[in-house]
Structure 1
Amino acid sequence: MRNLAILAALALAGCGLAPLNLGATNYKGQPLSAVVTKLGWPPDETQTIEGQKVYTWTVGQSTQQCKVRVVMAGDVIDTYEGSGDVNICGQYGALSGGLKGYY
Structure 2
Amino acid sequence: MEANFAGRQTSMAVQRNFVIFAALALAGCGAMPNLSLPDVKARNDFKGKPLSVVTAQLGNPDGQQTVNRQKIYTWRIGNSVRECVIRVATADDIVESYETLGDSPICGPYEARAN
Query: Counterparts of 1:51 and 1:25 in 2: how far apart (Å)?
Result: 23
The answer to whether the 8 Å contact 1:70/1:77 transfers is: yes
C-alpha change, 1:54 and 1:89, in structure 2 (3 Å) is: same
Greater relative contact order: 1 or 2 (C-alpha under 8 angstroms, separation 6 or more)? 1
Query: Counterparts of 2:110 and 2:80 in 1: how far apart (Å)?
Result: 18
TM-score (norm 1): 0.61
Q: Which residue does the alignment assign to 1:31?
A: 50
Residue 96 of structure 1, CA deviation: 5.5
TM-score (norm 2): 0.55
Q: Which runs of 5+ in 1 are unaligned?
A: 1-22, 98-103
Matching residue within 72, 86, 89 for 1:68: 86
1:79 aligns with 2:100: no
CA RMSD across the alignment: 2.0
Q: Which residue does the alignment assign to 2:74?
A: 56
More helix by share: 2
Q: Which runs of 5+ in 2 are unaligned?
A: 1-41
Query: Counterparts of 2:44 and 2:81 in 1: how far apart (Å)?
Result: 26
Give CA-to-partner distance per residue, 1:31-76, whole Å, 9 cap, x none: 111111122x100001001121100000122221001100002120
The answer to whether the 8 Å contact 2:49/2:95 transfers is: yes
1:88 aligns with 2:101: no
The answer to whether the 8 Å contact 1:86/1:95 transfers is: no
Q: Secondary structure at the match of 1:89?
A: helix
% identity of equivalent residues: 42
